[in-house]
């Protein structure tokens, strides 16, 4: 597990430093220079932080759904714990993706929030996470709480493909991958404007944030298990 821990620390630190420090020049000569993308300029650096956090949000949601499903099949409380932990981390990454996206939108599109289809999607994802945790806090009984929230997570997950893949392509929007953007990958990937070294740093960032997610997940799982054990030993003492 220490490989994940140090890997995520090193990779994310590297991405933060390299993503901010590597200069943008009109015609890059060597590996430590990024090309200037017309219309994006310095704002292009957001791709190293916004896209990986958004990606991790969806990943965390999927993991939460899968563990919810496994809980329903086996009724093993361990799966429920994993499902909640993943949902909590997903909420954190969702907030990060929303904030980085809104900041970028302010400087690129002129306002923090303009209900672009993608902004709508991430807003709904925030709402789903909020509803999931309100549902959990409303139920007292542990097994009921686990089963009902797992069902809710799966039902909510069923709608995710609609607003990630269908709605943004139906409506006109400003976000890369909206209607009229045939590749769906966005202008950076599509027209080859993203230079090779930028692409490498992007994938490093993706890997780094995923490792960060795995590390935080195991960390919180261990904390939760220790708390459970303490609770159990306190009960046996009495």
Bridge partners of residue 25, in order along the sequence: 35
To which H or E segment does residue 226 belong? helix 196-237
Nearer to another protein, 18 or 156 (CB): 156
Residues 6+ apart with CB under 8 A from 115: none
Nearer to another protein, 27 or 134 (CB): 134
Q: Which two tokens stand for residue 118?
A: 């993608």
Q: Which two tokens stand for residue 208?
A: 């780094």
* 3-state class (DSSP) for residue 70: helix
Output the smallest distance, CB 33 to another protein, in A: 43
Contacts with another protein by CB under 8 A lie at 72, 120, 124, 127-128, 130-131, 134-135, 138-140, 144, 147-148, 150-152, 154-156, 158-159, 162-163, 166-167, 170
Nearer to another protein, 74 or 230 (CB): 74
Output the smallest distance, CB 190 to another protein, in A: 23
Nearer to another protein, 140 or 237 (CB): 140
Output the smallest distance, CB 227 to another protein, in A: 24
Output the smallest distance, CB 19 to another protein, in A: 32
Nearer to another protein, 81 or 210 (CB): 81
Output the smallest distance, CB 57 to another protein, in A: 14
Rg over alpha carbons for the chain, rounded to the nearest Å, is 20
Assess contact for 67 and 80: CB atoms under 8 A. yes
Assess contact for 105 and 114: CB atoms under 8 A. yes
Assess contact for 28 and 40: CB atoms under 8 A. no
Start-to-end Cα distance in the chain: 36
């Amino acid at each position: 597990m220490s490989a994940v821990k140090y890997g995520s620390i090193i990779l994310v630190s590297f991405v933060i430093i390299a993503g901010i420090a590597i200069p943008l020049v009109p015609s890059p000569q060597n590996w430590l220079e990024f090309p200037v993308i017309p219309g994006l300029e310095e704002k292009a650096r957001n791709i190293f932080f916004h896209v990986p956090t958004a990606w991790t949000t969806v990943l965390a949601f999927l993991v939460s759904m899968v563990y919810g499903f496994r809980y329903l099949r086996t009724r093993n409380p361990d799966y429920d714990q994993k499902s909640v932990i993943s949902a909590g981390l997903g909420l954190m990454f969702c907030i990060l993706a929303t904030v980085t996206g809104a900041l970028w939108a302010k400087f690129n599109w002129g306002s923090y929030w303009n209900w672009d289809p993608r902004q709508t999607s991430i807003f709904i994802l925030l709402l789903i996470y909020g509803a999931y945790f309100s549902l959990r806090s409303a139920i007292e009984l542990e097994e009921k709480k686990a089963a009902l929230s797992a069902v809710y997570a799966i039902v909510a997950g069923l709608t995710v493909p609609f607003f990630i893949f269908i709605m943004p392509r139906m409506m006109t929007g400003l976000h890369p991958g909206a209607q009229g953007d045939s590749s769906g990958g966005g202008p950076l990937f599509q027209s080859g404007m993203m230079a090779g070294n930028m692409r490498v740093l992007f994938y490093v960032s993706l890997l780094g944030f995923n490792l960060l997610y795995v590390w935080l997940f195991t960390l919180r799982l261990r904390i939760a298990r220790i708390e459970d054990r303490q609770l159990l030993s306190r009960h046996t003492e009495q």
